[in-house]
């Protein structure tokens, strides 16, 4: 059975409702002057903002700097938060706008579009059919494995990468992802399909990609490491 985003759906909704209610209290208190509570408010979103920015900016250092700028900007703009979307989605929107602005500056004013890069609607044929041994959670303690995952993601074209980050890393819904990227739900699904299958091929066992062996294969060979 799939992992999916969809398992324990009702449970997730209850959890999200609880998180939202707690956030609402924090936001109100911060707006009333308890600004030191801001760190508590943004703590669950540091990673999602950072992941979004690294997928757009490429460098770890830039992504960390801009994440800090984005979070401080969010504090300054908290009064403008209209609650039309979840707080986390609002933060990601600020992050994407900030990254776009920086990229535009770097490219001397050339417009940068999130929808750039044509979606390939053609069928994607998986290149590898070997079984994956499930990678144990402890393996992710190793920076080598985490780096391999980051590297694999960097191999995707940006529009596939960003859709994947928003949906599968930041756990936004397909509709939220579509709204943020300004594309249709259908286009989000197309991008997700390619991103997921390409990542599976890059990381899967037995597949040579750019001279690197698939992640699962490495893991299978050295399970004791």
Partner 1 sequence: MGITCEEVWRDISDYVDDELDQKQRAALEEHFAKCRHCAAVLEGTCNVIRLYRDERVLAPSKGFHDRLRARLNQKLNQGADERFHPSRRAVLAWALASAAAVPLGFALFSAKRFILPGLEHQSPTGSPDSPAVKGLVAISLDANNKIFHIPSCPYLHGKLKFISVEEAIREGYSPCPICIGKRRPEKKG
Identified binder of partner 1 from the candidate list 19, 114, 174, 220, rule CB under 8 A? 174
Decide: is 156 part of the binding site for partner 1 (CB under 8 A): no
Give one word for 120, left, alpha or beta, with left for phi > 0 and alpha for psi -120 to 50: beta
Q: How distant, in Å, are the alpha carbons of 21, 124, 170, 174 from that of 8?
A: 20, 29, 17, 17
Q: What is the per-residue binding string for partner 1 in 190-219, x denoting contact by CB under 8 A?
A: --xx--xx-xx--xx-----------x---
Identified binder of partner 1 from the candidate list 87, 160, 164, 217, rule CB under 8 A? 164
- Region binding partner 1 by CB under 8 A among candidate stretches 15-23, 47-55, 79-87, 112-120: 47-55
Task: Please tell me the distance from the alpha carbon of residue 160 to that of residue 127, in angstroms, as a whole number.
Answer: 18
**What's the sign of the alpha-carbon dihedral 156, 158, 103, 47?**
negative
The residues, any chain, with a CB within 8 Å of residue 53's CB and separated by 6 or more, are 62, 63, 66, 67, 70, 95, 98, 99
Smallest separation, CB 83 to partner 1 (Å): 23
Q: Contact, 92 vs 70, CB < 8 A? A: no
Task: Please tell me the distance from the alpha carbon of residue 225 to that of residue 222, in angstroms, as a whole number.
Answer: 6
Identified binder of partner 1 from the candidate list 107, 115, 130, 208, rule CB under 8 A? 130
Identified binder of partner 1 from the candidate list 75, 77, 105, 223, rule CB under 8 A? 75
Of 132, 165, 133, 164, the closest CA to residue 53 belongs to 165
Nearer CB in complex with partner 1: 126/182: 126
Decide: is 109 part of the binding site for partner 1 (CB under 8 A): no
Buried b (16+ CB within 10 A) or exposed e, 171-184: ebebebbbbbbebe
Q: What SS3 state is found at 212?
A: strand
Decide: is 150 part of the binding site for partner 1 (CB under 8 A): yes
Identified binder of partner 1 from the candidate list 11, 32, 36, 84, rule CB under 8 A? 36
Q: Contact, 52 vs 166, CB < 8 A? A: yes
Smallest separation, CB 126 to partner 1 (Å): 5
Nearer CB in complex with partner 1: 104/225: 225
- Region binding partner 1 by CB under 8 A among candidate stretches 14-22, 87-95, 105-113, 162-170: 162-170
Smallest separation, CB 223 to partner 1 (Å): 15
Kind plus residue range of the DSSP H or E element containing 208? strand 208-209
Residues that bind partner 1 (CB under 8 A): 2-6, 9, 35-36, 38-39, 43, 46-47, 50-51, 54, 60, 63-64, 67-68, 71-72, 75, 123-126, 128-132, 134-135, 137, 140-141, 146, 149-150, 153, 164-165, 168-169, 171, 174, 189, 192-193, 196-197, 199-200, 203-204, 216
């Amino acid at each position: 059975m799939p992992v999916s985003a969809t398992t324990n759906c009702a449970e997730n909704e209850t959890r999200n409702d609880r998180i939202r209610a707690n956030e609402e209290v924090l936001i109100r208190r911060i707006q009333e002057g308890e600004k030191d509570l801001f760190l508590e408010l943004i703590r669950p979103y540091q990673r999602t903002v950072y992941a979004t920015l690294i997928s757009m900016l490429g460098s770890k250092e830039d992504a960390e700097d801009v994440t800090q700028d984005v979070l401080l900007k969010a504090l300054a703009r908290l009064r403008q938060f209209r609650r039309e979307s979840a707080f986390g989605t609002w933060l990601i929107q600020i992050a994407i706008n900030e990254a776009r602005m920086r990229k535009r500056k770097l490219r001397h004013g050339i417009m940068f579009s999130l929808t750039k890069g044509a979606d390939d609607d053609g069928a994607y044929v998986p290149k590898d059919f070997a079984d994956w041994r499930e990678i144990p959670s402890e393996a992710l303690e190793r920076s080598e494995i985490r780096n391999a995952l980051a590297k694999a993601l960097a191999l995707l074209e940006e529009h596939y990468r960003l859709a994947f980050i928003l949906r599968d890393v930041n756990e936004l819904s397909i509709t939220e992802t579509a709204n943020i990227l300004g594309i249709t739900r259908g286009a989000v699904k197309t991008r997700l399909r390619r991103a997921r299958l390409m990542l599976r091929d890059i990381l899967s066992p037995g597949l040579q990609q750019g001279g690197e062996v698939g992640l699962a294969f490495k893991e299978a060979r050295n399970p004791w490491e």
